[in-house]
Amino acid sequence: MNIKKFLDKPFRLMALIGSIYLITMILMNVFTDFFYELSVMPFSRTVSYSAEGVALVLCVLSFFFYTHHSIYYIALETLAFSYLYTGRVYTALFITAILFFLLMTENRLASKVRLSVYLALEVAKMIFVIPYGVRSFFEYIGITLFSLATIGCINLLFRHAYEKKDSGEINLDDYKFTDRQIDCIKETVVNNTTIKALAITHNVSESAIKKDLAHIYSVLGIDGKADLKALFIGYKFD
């Protein structure tokens, strides 16, 4: 087996690391009570076992279905909520920071609906911190805002640096893409346009756009939208 090829996708590698981490945490739960000494909530042990078990299953699924990044995001959110419930506030903050960084890197918050869902989840997390006192509550809010602002600034700096670079590694003229397929590439990379919006713009069905994108991914040797964006970083579209 070619190990390099087997682990060449970042979400596959993250899923493997996440699985190892969760197995370690479950074993620590079994042999120690360290994780429950701060908890003021009932059934903390049950919640912790259940959440870590669910997250482990999701990480395993994410390893095999590594192009479906939402599976890994759900695993991280599950862990964050369980950590807040059992009083591990700073661990939950760390998981939240990782999640937000991944979302921003992939531009997953471009949709207003997705952003609303994410904000609703963050409000729910804050509610879980309330039983641990006013200080913990305000610390959580303050550190969360500081972390997210810092991550946002780092993300903008990296994007600005990438935009200054000329791609030069790929030339669309080398491929026999149709005008519609080229437009799908441009709109997806530049504006994060959805399949539905592309279908309306070109007056075709969503299945036709999906076929175009599948053809594009196949020809370019990539697996999805995230890879397409990475491939065309800095590319100058006409």
CA of residue 177 relative to chain centroid, distance: 30
Query: Is it the case that residue 164 has pLDDT exceeding 60?
Result: no
Q: How many Cβ atoms sit within 10 Å of the Cβ of residue 73? A: 19
Q: Does the predicted TM-score (pTM) go above 0.95?
A: no
Mean pLDDT across the chain: 81
pLDDT confidence of 128, banded at 50, 70, 90?
A: confident
Per-position DSSP letters for 56-75, written without gaps between them: HHHHHHHHHSTT-HHHHHHH
Cα distances (angstroms) measured from residue 38 to each of 83, 130, 221: 11, 14, 49
Cα distances (angstroms) measured from residue 130 to each of 33, 89, 232: 23, 11, 44
Tokens of 130: 């309330």
pLDDT of residue 7: 55
pLDDT confidence of 158, banded at 50, 70, 90?
A: low
Segment 149-174 mean pLDDT: 62
CB 215 within 8 A of CB 146: no
Q: Which residue has the tokens 């946002």?
A: 152
Segment 107-123 mean pLDDT: 79
Segment 32-61 mean pLDDT: 81
- Neighbouring residues of 15: CB distance < 8 A, sequence distance ≥ 6: 59, 60, 62, 63, 66, 72
pLDDT of residue 57: 94
Q: Whose CA is closest to 181, among 149, 213, 159, 203?
A: 213
Query: Is it the case that residue 4 has pLDDT exceeding 70?
Result: no
| CB burial string 50-62: b at 16+ within 10 A, e below | ebbebbbebbbbb
Query: Is it the case that residue 116 has pLDDT exceeding 70?
Result: yes
Kindly state the DSSP code that residue 33 receives in the 8-state scheme.
-
Q: Which residue has the tokens 């739960």?
A: 29
pLDDT of residue 165: 43
pLDDT confidence of 37, banded at 50, 70, 90?
A: low
pLDDT confidence of 171, banded at 50, 70, 90?
A: confident
- Neighbouring residues of 62: CB distance < 8 A, sequence distance ≥ 6: 11, 12, 14, 15, 18, 68, 69, 71, 72, 75
pLDDT of residue 203: 92
